[in-house]
Structure 1
Amino acid sequence: MDVWLEGKKVRVDPAKALGKGGEADVFDLGDGRALKLFKPPEHPDYTGLPAEQTAARIRLDEHQSKLRAFPVGMPGRVVVPQVLATDKKGKSVLGYAMRKLDAVEPLRRFAEPSFRRAGATSARVVDVLRGLHRTLDAVHASGVVVGDFNDLNVLVAGVADAYLIDADSFQFGAYLCPVFTERFLDPLRLANGGAGGLVPARPASVESDWYGFAVTVMQGLLCVGPHGGVHRPKTPAGRTTPAGRVLQRVTVFHPEVQYPKPALPLATLPDDVLHHLHRVFVEDLRGAFPLPLLDGLRFTACASCGVEHARGTCPTCQPNATAAATPVTSARGQVTATRLFSTRGVLVHASAEDGVLRWLYHADGAYRREDGRVVLRGPLDPSLHWALQGDVTLVGRGGEVAVLVQGRTPERVGVDAPEGKPAFAANARHRYQAVGGGLWRDGAYGPERIGDVLEGQTRLFVGPRFGLGFHRAGGLRGAFVFDAVRSGLKDGLALPWPSGQLVDADCVFDGPNAWLFLVEQAGGRTVHHCVVVGSDGTVRASAVADAGDGSWLGSGTRGRCAAGDALFCATDAGLTRVELRQGRLEAVREFPDAEPFVDSGSHLFLVKQGLAVVGRKDIAVLRMS
């Protein structure tokens, strides 16, 4: 596809794709700028979706005048349209060029417990929020409303520089913001108490922007939004839907809501901050978030339990107490848990090879393997990506992977980095990486090329027997499987692709199955997908669930372990066993007795001793009768 910028033709190369949203694709122009192109109705992502095709047509029609009238004088940390991208005649607006941000993380990551324990501190989050507060205030002073304020429309560069993106959806003059994100949608925008569902009936406003900012504050400081957790009323008649919780203001402050285990405790925040959040989400207080509440936050890590808090003393344990020893063996009903490992530091990564668990943790200023040996010194760094292969530790950042072997100089390998994530993986026998348009495996005499992949865009996962990869770049989307040992790959897989913005992806393997999990943001909602792919590339089953719906698929993005045609899922209520039955995925058994030993943030692995549960500081093995 060709577009024109300032009268010059630009060839759009899918290999230069930077990201994909629900409404547009973004490409690297190679000159410090990025090109955002709106998806036309005929875009492959909209195939078979007439409502999305109609919305795309309406959106393009409005952009013909809206982008030409975009206000000047926006704050420096708003990524604004710089040059319009048009057809050859310069009449039809197709998108725009904008400043390209490098080495960024979406603000959403800072609300993930795993990202936080990997080194993103609460103090850093506060700095991000303070800068974002100033930017939002300046946007409002310019007579503009963000409208769809959410944590995917904010990118964090460096330590704490927060940038607002997707400015084409901003609201100004006669142009209303047509999109919204349910988790950040102000309930006061719903008509008649929201009888029609979570669809806004009133335009966005300065007040609704600040409501979204308050959601961001809560998620950033506690790793849970106002309507997180699970509603567990005393009687079945009291149950309500996720939408009903919003409409009835049934928040995490409600006594009948089970607070999510991976989240930081409410008591880690000062009373004045908690009181303000309660007034916003329960009592419908509106207005600018008080900046002094953020300025006054001072976090410290408890020397005893390691929890970060902004109080005078640790709210979760007695001051200066020593860490209590976890019992070696605990039992509840049909579940017995045996402690395998415990650290005063933080568990960072784990994997299982041939039934043997291997792990990496950070303690005393260094990353260490399961036997305590140091593999890398330095503070916790959430930008690092890890893989373990026997005694070998692989660590990647950006387009480079270091192979760490005790007693040897680290080997450094260049790899592709789609959306900043290094494309590498490992199993017990081999290492794999995507680079330069090829998929490579380490061999006895050097790297071996397995097959061709889309350069710079391939996501990669591997299990004991086979691997799975995919790409979504511009109008291109594809997936493939490959044997763990033999050369060649089978591509052209017909997966049930999400049409929205891909937020997260994970994959677990066992036997002939790969269980691929995709999280997308589409139509204002967060949707979870599970696709079971066989080693021959056939799709054996798929399922879809809304995030936070209480199901095994909607409960989290990690905490799954495959066992042939079965899957174990960790939730805050225990374990769920899901089975693949005649092309369907069915939850067949619950293990509520596992509740004390797991949560939705746990990682699960099938090992020789049983089911290994890797938490923040402890590893236990469960056996169920």
Structure 2
Amino acid sequence: MDVYLEGKRLRLNPSKALGKGGEADVFDLGDGRVLKLFKPPEHPDYGALVAEQDAARARLVEHQRKLPAFPQNLPPRVVSPQALATDKGGGKVVGYAMRKLDAAEPLRRFGEPSFRRAGVPSSRVVTLFQDLHRTLGALHGSGVVVGDFNDLNVLVIGDEAWLIDADSFQFGPYLASVFTERFLDPLRLGSAGALVPARPASVDSDWYAFGVALMQSLVCVGPYGGVLPKVTPTERVLRRLTVFHPDVRYPKPATPLGVLPDDVLHGLHRIFVEDARGPFPWPLLESLRFQVCASCGVEHARATCPTCRPSAVHTPTPVTTVRGQVVATRLFSTEGVVVHACVEEGVLRWLVHERGAWRREDGAVVLQGPLQASPTWAIHGASTLVGQGPEFTVLAPGRRPERLGVDAPEGRPAFAANARHRYWAHAGVLWRDGTYGPERLGDVLEGQTRLFVGPRFGLGFHRAGALRDAFVFAAERPGLKDGLKLPWPSGRLVDAEAVFEGALCWLLLAEETAGKTVHHCVVVGADGGVKASATARAGDGSWLGTLRGKCAAGEALFAATDTGLVRVALQQGQLVPVREFPDTEPFVDADTRLLLTAQGLVAVGRQTVTLLRMS
């Protein structure tokens, strides 16, 4: 399809695709702007999905009237359409150009425990939401409703919160047709008992979603997070069974609600339990002040620490703990944060930030500086790899830092390492370090490749525009096998992870689709064949309810949950939970990283590394 912008024909290069949503693909125009190109009904992502094809067709029809009538002079933090993209004749709107936001993080990340503990203080969250509060109020003053207010439609740059996806805004006769389930105001529901809006979005529903995002960003759990056994997610919403309800099992990785002051907790309770609406009270945000307890290190916004007394005597955790059939041996603990951990040929290695520096497992200082959430880390023997932006740096003892250029799709540097080699994608080529310098393994899509590697083989993929492809490559030989037929999610990919064992890779994907977050597990062989796959709803309490916290062992997968470890077996093309280990509950949660070492299974927490032996 020919696309024209400001009278000029555009040549859309898949390598310039910046992202993929459920409704559109986004391309870098190279002039400080991006192009949002709406997916037509025949887009490959919709495949044989008739309902999605019909919805795409209806959106395109409405955009012909809505986008030319889009309001002007909106608040400065709103990324509005700047120029409409059309077909060759100019009679059909197919997308629009808008400002490009560089080095932006989706607000969703601020609700992830691992992201928050890697150097994102609560005070920054408060500043962000003060900024977002002002923008939302001003937007409403312009007669515009966001409609689908969610944590992927807000991008963060520094302490600024930017609203994107403006084409879905509601104004005049144009109602918001899309929604995100976690942010859907229950007062918009009908009597059918389904989590589908029956009433239009409103100023009040925007402020409800603002409250959801604020709570999630402050304590890493939304109002309907946690698990309530034998009650469906729909029933929870209809009956307002929120995390404030005593029967809900609060997520262990989340920050305790008690760190918030009583007036903020009361304000959240009024919104989510008592159905209070209206703008979120500005005085609650303006007066919210966090501090770090000098005794236990907990960050809180109360007059005194809610988890300890300053005079309390610290009791060290026992080195070895026995619970039922589990023996837990603490291998390491820190007052700082365990940033990264891995196993190389059975040997456990880790990186910790402590006392103003990043340190390896032997205590050696790798890099000085304050804790930050933005770098991506990897370990390669005694070397430590750190990626930020379009390069990664190799920090090796006794050597000068080595800097290598690398592609960074959506800000994630495409590099990986195992015990023997480093691998990275740059300028459309997959590279591996060799005896005499970098060795070319094969061609990949420039700027769009995600990369994972295990001891025997690696896996990569890209989703750019209408292009979707995955490939595998041997760890020790040149060449790659592409064109893999994976069961690709059709929605917006928001996260990805992979774990390897032998000739198997367990690829884990999270997508936002039809207003919900869905997790996928695809087991791929070293030959590129798909052995099995499974899906689950995010946060459902199952082994696949969270994306991370997985470790492969043979043809089985161990998964960490808030109630203990679960072993999942690959049986006749199916992924079947075959055993639970409830005695491991005190030592793991859904955010725990699992690793298989020569000594046994290791659980890596925020500040501890623990060896688990189970009989």
| TM class by smaller structure | over 0.9
Match for residue 203 of structure 1 among 178, 200, 203 = 200
Secondary structure of 1:339's counterpart equals strand
CA–CA distance in 2 between the matches of 1:568 and 1:521? 25
Letter in 2 for 1:359: W
Q: Identify the match of residue 482 of structure 2 among 491, 494, 519.
A: 491
Q: Is the 8 A contact 2:564 2:581 kept in 1?
A: yes
Equivalent of 1:230 in 217, 227, 231:
227
List aligned pairs for 1:13-52, cutoff 5 A. 13-52=13-52
Give the CA RMSD over aligned residues. 0.8
Output the CA distance in 2 between the equivalents of 1:378 and 1:353: 27
What amino acid is the match of 2:380? Q
What pairs up with 1:65-84 in 2 under 5 angstroms?
65-84=65-84
Query: How do 1:385-396 and structure 2 match up within 5 A?
Result: 385-396=376-387
Cα distance in 2 for partners of 1:534, 1:322 equals 52
Unaligned runs of 5+ in 1: 233-238
Work out the CA distance in 2 between the residues paired with 1:397 and 1:362: 17
Equivalent residues of 2:193, 2:238 under 8 A apart: no
Shift of 1:371: 1.1
Match of 1:401 in 2: 392
Distance 2:409 2:247 in 1: 42
Q: Does 2:600 align with 1:613? A: no
Q: Which consecutive residues of structure 2, in runs of 5 or more, have no partner in the other structure?
A: none
1:221 maps to 2:211: no
Structure 1 SS opposite 2:90: coil
CA distance in 2, matches of 1:2, 1:387: 42
Partner of residue 429, structure 1: 420
Q: Say whether residues 1:125 and 2:125 are aligned partners.
A: yes
The number of aligned residues is 615
Mapped partners of 1:55, 1:175: distance in 2: 15
Residues 38-73 of structure 1 deviation map (CA, whole Å, 9 limit, x = unaligned): 000010100111111110000100000000100111
**d(CA) in 2 for partners of 1:321, 1:121:** 25
Q: Is the 8 A contact 1:403 1:411 kept in 2?
A: yes
Q: Partners of 2:478 and 2:306 in 1: how far apart? A: 56
User: Displacement of 1:389 after TM fit?
Assistant: 1.0
Q: Distance in 2 between matches of 1:461 and 1:120?
A: 26
Q: Which secondary structure does the structure 1 equivalent of 2:162 belong to?
A: strand
Structure 2 equivalent of residue 186 of structure 1: 185
CA contact (8 A) 2:542 2:561 kept: no
2:569 paired residue number:
579
1:304 Cα shift? 2.6
Aligned to 2:234: 243
Q: By how many angstroms is 1:324 displaced?
A: 2.9
Q: Give 1:557 shift.
A: 1.6
- Give runs of aligned pairs for residues 351-500 of structure 1, distance below 5 A: 351-500=342-491
Q: 2: CA distance between counterparts of 1:310 and 1:352? A: 38
Residue 544 of structure 2 corresponds to residue 544 of structure 1: no
Structure 2 counterpart of 1:439, one-letter code = L
Match of 1:315 in 2: 306
C-alpha contact (below 8 Å) 1:2/1:12 kept by paired residues: no
Residue pair 2:78, 2:162 contacting (<8 A) in 1 also? yes
- d(CA) in 2 for partners of 1:323, 1:216: 35
1:376-400 Cα distance to aligned partner (Å, 9 max, x none): 1111111100000111000000111
**Cα offset, 1:323, TM superposition:** 4.2
Q: What secondary structure sits across from 1:470 in the alignment?
A: strand
Cα deviation for residue 2 of structure 1 reads: 3.1
Residue 148 of structure 2: aligned partner: 148
Judge conservation of contact 1:303–1:320 (CA < 8 Å) in 2: no
Question: What secondary structure sits across from 1:197 in the alignment?
Answer: coil
Q: Secondary structure of the equivalent of 1:37?
A: strand
Q: State the TM-score, normalizing by the size of structure 1.
A: 0.98
The two structures have a TM-score, normalised by structure 2, of: 0.99
CA distance in 2, matches of 1:34, 1:538: 36
Asked whether the 8 Å contact 1:527–1:546 carries over to 2, the reply is yes
- Decide whether the 8 Å contact of 2:20 with 2:492 is kept in 1: yes
- C-alpha distance in structure 2 between counterparts of 1:101 and 1:322, whole Å: 49
Instruction: Please say if residues 305 and 344 of structure 1, whose CA atoms lie closer than 8 Å, have aligned partners that are also in contact.
Output: no
Deviations 1:522-550 (A, max 9, x none): 00000000000000000000001111222
2:155 is equivalent to residue 163 of structure 1: no
* Matches for 1:551-590 after TM superposition, within 5 Å: 551-554=542-545, 556-590=546-580
Q: Does 1:58 align with 2:58?
A: yes
The Cα of 1:6 is off from its aligned counterpart by: 1.2
- Which whole-Å CA distance do the structure 2 matches of 1:323 and 1:373 have between them? 27
CA distance in 2, matches of 1:557, 1:123: 27
Please tell me whether the aligned partners of residues 193 and 234 of structure 2 are also in contact (alpha carbons under 8 angstroms): no
C-alpha offsets along residues 262-310 of structure 1, whole Å, 9 cap, x if unaligned?
0011110000000110111111111100111111111112223222111
Q: In the aligned structure 2, how far is the partner of 1:281 from the partner of 1:2? A: 47
Q: Secondary structure at the match of 1:230?
A: coil
Judge conservation of contact 1:224–1:263 (CA < 8 Å) in 2. yes
Partner secondary structure for residue 491 of structure 1: coil
Alpha-carbon spacing, 1:320–1:472, altered in 2? closer, same or farther (3 Å): farther
Letter of the structure 1 residue corresponding to residue 75 of structure 2: P
CA–CA separation in structure 2 for the residues paired with 1:374 and 1:611: 27
Distance (Å, rounded) in 1 between the aligned partners of 2:54 and 2:9: 28
> Aligned AA for 1:246?
V
The one of 290, 305, 318 aligned to 2:296 = 305
> Contact (CA 8 Å) 1:242, 1:548: kept in 2 or not?
no
Q: Hey, what's the Cα distance between the residues in 1 that align with 2:532 and 2:151?
A: 31
1:5-41 deviation line (CA, Å, top 9, x unaligned):
1111111111000100000000000000000000000
Q: Distance in 2 between matches of 1:7 and 1:480?
A: 39
- In structure 2, give the amino acid aligned to 1:480: F
Match of 1:236 in 2: none
Identical-residue share of aligned pairs (%):
72
Letter of the aligned partner of 1:408 in structure 2?
A: R
Q: Deviations over 1:418-477 (max 9, x none)?
A: 011100000000000000110000000000000010000000000000000000000000
Contact residue 220 and residue 255 of structure 2 kept, 8 A = yes
